[in-house]
Structure 1
Amino acid sequence: MTYFFKLLGFLVLALPAVAEDYAAPRMPWGDPDLQGVWTHAYLTALERQALFPSLTISEDQARNVERMGADLLANIDKLPEGDLVKGDVGGYNSVWMDPGKKMLRIDGKARTSLIIEPENGRLPYTAEGGKKSREVYMKARARNNPEQLMLGDRCMVGFGSTGGPPMLGVLYNNNYQFVQTPGYVMILVEMNHSVRTIRLKGERLPADIKPWLGDSVGHWEGDTLVVETTQFHPQKLFRAAIAHRFMSTTDTKVVERFTRTGAAAIHYEYTVEDASIYSQPWSAETVFRPSEGPIYEYACHEGNYSLPGILGGQREKERIEKSEG
């Protein structure tokens, strides 16, 4: 876990500039073609860290961040000194991880956060919203019972906001398959094989139906797919992963915009609105690029077989802390 916390402070993203004369390919019925297997694994946090004074940094600084990310990942595979059994033998090695290797670049400039509005790159919580976020996070970290754990830990949904919306990168499994048919866009999320079905020009579901990933209805504005999602499930309101942590409620509205900007790029921008926890809407952007391979079946600790270990480990940690005073 040391890697996660070290990396959080030094992560950024890498996007190609938009080709103004690019003409997106078309589906047989005329809609822009977004199909394929895509990824958005980059070295960046959702929010801008305090050591970055602005949205962009120099190319030299960007390369330093990328080298630091590679070094931190490589250190995971080093054997601990002394007896191996005294080391952290239960954690993942780097073969399981794919947090990204490059910073995001838009118009050739390295970005220091996904958030572009507010300008400070930070989530605009109200005082009450920030308090609620901290309380929910600390409650989940206590690991007092299965129901208190975050749903990603229980393998019911993907970690953090990988399934979205908005869809954000996590430590691994940052791949998505886009499939289009007349009237629908489907997005298969690699982690926990979640599926988003976006109805084009469709009616909203009844208000009492709240799917895990919300109710998504989309339409085309020129070559841009615009998707509005509401009616989030009441048990999927806190999203935490390696490089993002934020709240939503059943009243949150997310508007996403997908634009094919090149043969190997889909620009992805989103805005989150919820006056009950945020003082203003906040917006962020990234890019999907082609994945290096297909999506394979996802597996987790099915049946929650690891929960006794998670809960027992926390109790042991508490006993040790108590004995040490």
Structure 2
Amino acid sequence: MPSTRTQSLSLLSAAALVLAGALPAVAQDVPDDLTVMPAVSNDYQPARTPWGDPDFRGTWPINDIAELPVERPDRFGMRHWKTDEELAAEQGRVEALEQAYESEDHQGTIGLGHWIEYQAGSRRTSMIVEPANGKLPRLTRQGIHDAAEMRSSWVVGQTFDWVDDFDSWDRCWTRGFPASMLPFRYNNGIRIFQAPGYVVIVLEMLGTRIIPVGNTAQWPAGVSGMFGQSRGRWEDHNTLVVETTNLQPGASALNIATRGVPPNNTLPMSRQARTVERFHMIGPDTITYELTYADPVMFEAPFTLRMDWTRDDAYEFFEYACHEGNVQIRNYITADRAAREAEYARGRMVEPIDPDAGPPPAMDPASRGVGNRN
């Protein structure tokens, strides 16, 4: 499973490293003023499909932006861009990591070095371009309340009694949306297919989006899905615009395995959440992806992310075989109950956990777990 304690520690260690790789296919337009984010170019004329739509078909893995954080680190202030000196410092870490790979290969001990692979070279300081400070807007009072109610294996000190004490990613169900469109630590493949009236986005980890392009009726308000209803349209000559509504709350709006996201995997979502995505093809091998997210119930303001996707049609998808080895849920529950029994034996709990006493309290949403009976 992706979110076991052992793996989470490994991910945190690996996240400090940057893997060598090619720069994006289209050079980044870095202004003299590093606090300025230029508008997306619309000069490029993409090839056309046989039925006349801009041709976005291909494989667009986003490993090369896995080191780009969603929120801007404080040290960059209002800068959208890194300096030459900051980029050179990253290259030093790249060289050290390459030596570690060679050592693994030589010793026959291939491990995280080849499991979690990034590429270096991004001049950007964060995915967020709006607000200009590169930070997520504050949660509303309702957002703070709902975040505190969410359950996940990433919440330190939480009790585990039943499957609903875990998030949708723990349970190999979904990473949620828009979280699924952002880079993770592995399985970062994105493949685009097109047919007349449709664009299909296949994600290497947990998900496929089928997007009608053109006039499509809005779903009724009572119908929802984890990826929501996405409706696309072509804009100008090089841009696909996709609006998504009818999202099913439950998963975290942004996933903890993406760099620069708040901890705990508990960013709440309401039924009023909506996104607007813009896929700009700015060169034969580059798509600039923009995502604007708005949820007035949970966030005080909308925010916009922007990043470049680089074509790599040689990239191979690997099965994300999550359920086959998913013993995490059972093990968490078993271990957590055993630990609390030990605490009770030492006089630190009000009552024991009796496995024959019926459903555990965490099956009752009002109970918030056995730990709150102390």
TM-score, reference length from structure 2: 0.70
Specify which of 26, 50, 61 is matched with residue 28 of structure 1: 50
Identity %: 27
2:330 is the alignment partner of 1:308: yes
Partner secondary structure for residue 11 of structure 2: helix
Specify which of 202, 206, 213 is matched with residue 188 of structure 1: 202
Residues 127 and 276 (structure 1), Cα distance of their counterparts in 2 relative to 1, 3 Å cut: closer
Specify which of 228, 234, 242 is matched with residue 243 of structure 2: 228
Per the alignment, residue 117 of structure 1 pairs with 130
Q: 1:7·1:72 contact (CA, 8 Å) conserved in 2?
A: no
2:189 is the alignment partner of 1:175: yes
Q: 1:7·1:69 contact (CA, 8 Å) conserved in 2?
A: no
Shift of residue 228, structure 1, vs aligned partner: 0.3
Specify which of 168, 180, 189 is matched with residue 151 of structure 1: 168
Residues 252 and 9 (structure 1), Cα distance of their counterparts in 2 relative to 1, 3 Å cut: farther
**How far does the alpha carbon of each residue in 1:203-261 deviate from its partner, in whole angstroms, 9 at most, with x for none?**
12222221121110010111210000011112224432221344432210100000111
Shift of residue 125, structure 1, vs aligned partner: 1.8
**Higher mean C-alpha displacement, 62-71 vs 214-223:** 62-71
Per the alignment, residue 277 of structure 1 pairs with 298
Specify which of 40, 52, 70 is matched with residue 76 of structure 2: 52
**How far does the alpha carbon of each residue in 1:116-161 deviate from its partner, in whole angstroms, 9 at most, with x for none?**
0001111102342562465256655225132121111111114xx5
How many correspondences in the alignment?
302
2:124 is the alignment partner of 1:97: no
Q: 2:189·2:315 contact (CA, 8 Å) conserved in 1?
A: no
Per the alignment, residue 321 of structure 2 pairs with 299
User: Between Structure 1 and Structure 2, which shows a larger proportion of strand residues?
Assistant: 1
Specify which of 1, 11, 16 is matched with residue 4 of structure 1: 11
**How far does the alpha carbon of each residue in 1:167-217 deviate from its partner, in whole angstroms, 9 at most, with x for none?**
10111111111000111100011002x110111121122222211211100
Task: Give the distance between the partners of 2:339 and 2:88, measured in 1 at CA.
Answer: 38
Task: Give the distance between the partners of 2:202 and 2:52, measured in 1 at CA.
Answer: 22
Equivalent residue letter for 1:168: L
Q: 2:42·2:280 contact (CA, 8 Å) conserved in 1?
A: no
Equivalent residue letter for 2:226: W
Partner secondary structure for residue 57 of structure 1: coil
Partner secondary structure for residue 296 of structure 1: coil
Residues 188 and 114 (structure 1), Cα distance of their counterparts in 2 relative to 1, 3 Å cut: same
Task: Give the distance between the partners of 1:2 and 1:36, measured in 2 at CA.
Answer: 34
Indicate the structure (1 or 2) with the bigger Cα radius of gyration.
Answer: 2
Shift of residue 293, structure 1, vs aligned partner: 1.7
Per the alignment, residue 232 of structure 2 pairs with 218
Equivalent residue letter for 2:240: L
**Structure 1: unaligned runs, 5 residues or longer:** 80-91, 105-109
Let me know the Cα RMSD of the aligned residues.
3.5
Task: Give the distance between the partners of 2:172 and 2:178, measured in 1 at CA.
Answer: 15
Partner secondary structure for residue 75 of structure 2: coil
Q: 2:225·2:247 contact (CA, 8 Å) conserved in 1?
A: yes
Residues 247 and 103 (structure 1), Cα distance of their counterparts in 2 relative to 1, 3 Å cut: farther
Q: 2:187·2:318 contact (CA, 8 Å) conserved in 1?
A: no
Residues 315 and 286 (structure 1), Cα distance of their counterparts in 2 relative to 1, 3 Å cut: farther
Equivalent residue letter for 2:144: K
Task: Give the distance between the partners of 1:21 and 1:134, measured in 2 at CA.
Answer: 43
**How far does the alpha carbon of each residue in 1:255-290 deviate from its partner, in whole angstroms, 9 at most, with x for none?**
000011111111101111111122221111011112
**Higher mean C-alpha displacement, 53-62 vs 237-246:** 237-246
Shift of residue 77, structure 1, vs aligned partner: 11
Q: 1:3·1:76 contact (CA, 8 Å) conserved in 2?
A: no
Q: 2:250·2:268 contact (CA, 8 Å) conserved in 1?
A: no
**Structure 2: unaligned runs, 5 residues or longer:** 1-7, 29-39, 105-110, 349-374
Residues 319 and 33 (structure 1), Cα distance of their counterparts in 2 relative to 1, 3 Å cut: farther
TM-score, reference length from structure 1: 0.79
